[in-house]
């Protein structure tokens, strides 16, 4: 396997509405430093993949409105490595776009599809699992997904059931996908021992994924097959014309749940889909009362198990709260019970209905 055949497509076009009010339409979560590390999520992801393949082989797919922010945060990223989405159409069009583009660029391409907002705690193990997956897909006609050994019955993640008896080089054949199960079902999955969290990181050879697209999403495949100017200055104008024809569907629903040649790489590199304020809380340092606090002038009088984020120049005094999310921005204050955080997307929709887009 030649390293020059390995490519990464980082999907960075989402809004991240469950991180509202810090994540906004104009500046979504992938461009935020959620945990106060000094780097945004997209910067962490980009740097992680620079250790796996040449930076000229790293492509970022994002909404056209975010390109100035992306260039500002990743100044060494070449303009040709930024793929602009004219509209949000979920992840399957991202996969189809990059597959057709790379087929025209390098017919032997192996592709990693990765979200922009994951935390990886053991980057050496992550690199090893990714490189092993790239090697595997270069030799076998398979679609690979990375699965994470679950540590709790989390209802916010998707789950992968795999056949523990059918493996090739320690890659196991996938039996089922289940998206965001109930707590009771998630507990059953944990006890069974043959379920993994779906990390949403996919690895495949370009020919394998193009075959899957042709079989399972033929109309979408045809949309990108008709583009004739890949890897030229005219590419973007053609993409702008054809992209609206794509259906809004994810890689999981569009391809992975239908294909029979899907294998999972059980991975143990320390992973978190940083998708909610609770996940930020879980991965934050906490005070002796269990509060995760971001803000230099937050005073805890009597509060525990809270996720608090506030501007450094604002005084926040907390008393009498337990298990709350408190996010204070210049124009929005969110106070929400932590066990109801999945409803934040509903609150955002309600704000849009009542207040328009001013606070989004």
Residue tagged 């030649």 (tokens): 2
Task: State the pLDDT at residue 291.
Answer: 97
- The answer, yes or no, to whether residue 40 has pLDDT greater than 90, is yes
Tell me what pLDDT residue 166 has. 84
For the stretch 252-284, pLDDT in tens is 999 999 999 999 999 988 888 888 899 899 999
Q: What is the pLDDT of residue 341?
A: 86
Q: Per DSSP, which regions of the chain are E strands?
A: 6-11, 58-63, 82-85, 110-115, 118-120, 143-148, 158-168, 171-179, 195-205, 262-267, 271-273, 292-294, 298-304, 307-309, 316-322, 324-328, 333-337
Give yes or no for a cis peptide into 142 (omega within 30° of 0): no
As a whole number of angstroms, the distance between CA 141 and CA 261 comes to: 7
Closest CA to 14 of 88, 84, 71: 88
At 141-194, the pLDDT tens digits run 999 999 999 888 888 888 999 998 888 899 999 999 988 888 889 899 988 889
Report the C-alpha gap between 8 and 118 in whole angstroms. 15
For 175-190, b/e burial (b = at least 16 CB within 10 A) is eebbeebeeeebeebb
Other Cβ atoms within 10 Å of 166 Cβ, number: 12
Over the chain, what is the mean pLDDT?
92
Residue 16 confidence (pLDDT): 81
Q: Is 298:314 a contact under the CB 8 Å cutoff?
A: no
Give domain 3-275's CATH number out of 3.40.50.300, 3.90.110.10, 2.40.10.120, 3.90.550.10: 3.90.550.10
The answer to whether 304 and 322 have CB atoms below 8 angstroms apart is yes
Provide the percentage of residues in the chain whose pLDDT is more than 70: 99
Please list the residue range(s) of the chain that carry CATH number 3.90.550.10: 3-275
Strands 6-11 and 58-63: parallel
pLDDT for 293: 96
pLDDT band at residue 1 using 50, 70 and 90 as cut-offs: low
- Select from 6, 8, 211 the least CA-distant residue to 94: 8
pLDDT, tens digit (0-9, with 9 covering 90-100), for 308-347:
999 999 999 999 999 999 999 999 999 999 998 888 989 9
* Spatial separation of the C-alpha atoms in residues 46 and 60, rounded to whole Å: 9
Residue 239's SS3 state is helix
What local confidence, expressed as pLDDT, does residue 2 receive?
65
Could you tell me the strand order of the sheet in which 324-328 lies? 292-294, 307-309, 324-328, 333-337
């Amino acid at each position: 396997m030649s390293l020059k055949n390995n490519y990464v497509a980082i999907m960075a076009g989402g809004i991240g509405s469950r991180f509202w009010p810090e994540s906004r339409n104009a500046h979504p979560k992938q461009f935020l430093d959620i945990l106060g590390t000094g780097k945004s999520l997209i910067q962490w992801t980009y740097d992680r993949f620079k250790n796996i393949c040449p930076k000229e082989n790293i492509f970022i797919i994002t909404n056209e409105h975010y390109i100035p922010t992306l260039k500002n945060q990743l100044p060494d990223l070449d303009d040709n490595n930024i793929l602009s989405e004219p509209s949000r159409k979920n992840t399957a069009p991202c996969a189809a776009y990059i597959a057709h583009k790379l087929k025209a660029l390098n017919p032997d391409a192996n592709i990693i599809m990765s979200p922009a907002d994951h935390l990886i705690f053991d980057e050496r193990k992550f690199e090893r699992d990714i490189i092993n997956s790239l090697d595997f897909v270069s030799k076998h006609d398979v679609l690979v997904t990375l699965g994470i050994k679950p540590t709790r019955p989390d209802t916010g993640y998707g789950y992968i059931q795999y056949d523990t008896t059918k493996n090739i080089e320690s890659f196991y054949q996938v039996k089922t996908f289940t998206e965001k199960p109930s707590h009771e079902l998630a507990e059953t999955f944990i006890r069974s021992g043959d379920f993994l969290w779906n990390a949403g990181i996919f690895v495949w050879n370009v020919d394998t994924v193009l075959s899957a697209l042709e079989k399972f999403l033929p109309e979408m495949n045809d949309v990108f097959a008709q583009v004739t100017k890949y890897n030229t200055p005219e590419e973007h104008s053609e993409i702008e014309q054809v992209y609206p024809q794509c259906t809004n569907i994810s890689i999981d629903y569009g391809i992975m749940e239908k294909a029979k040649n899907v294998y999972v790489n059980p991975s143990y590199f320390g992973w978190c889909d940083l998708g909610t304020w609770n996940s930020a809380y879980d991965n934050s340092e906490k005070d002796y009362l269990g509060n995760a606090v971001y803000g230099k002038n937050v005073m805890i009088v009597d509060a525990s198990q809270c996720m608090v984020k506030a501007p450094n120049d604002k005084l926040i005094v907390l008393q009498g709260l337990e298990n709350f999310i408190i996010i204070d921005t210049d124009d929005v204050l969110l106070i929400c019970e932590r066990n109801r955080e999945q409803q934040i997307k509903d609150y955002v929709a309600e704000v849009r209905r009542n207040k328009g887009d001013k606070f989004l």
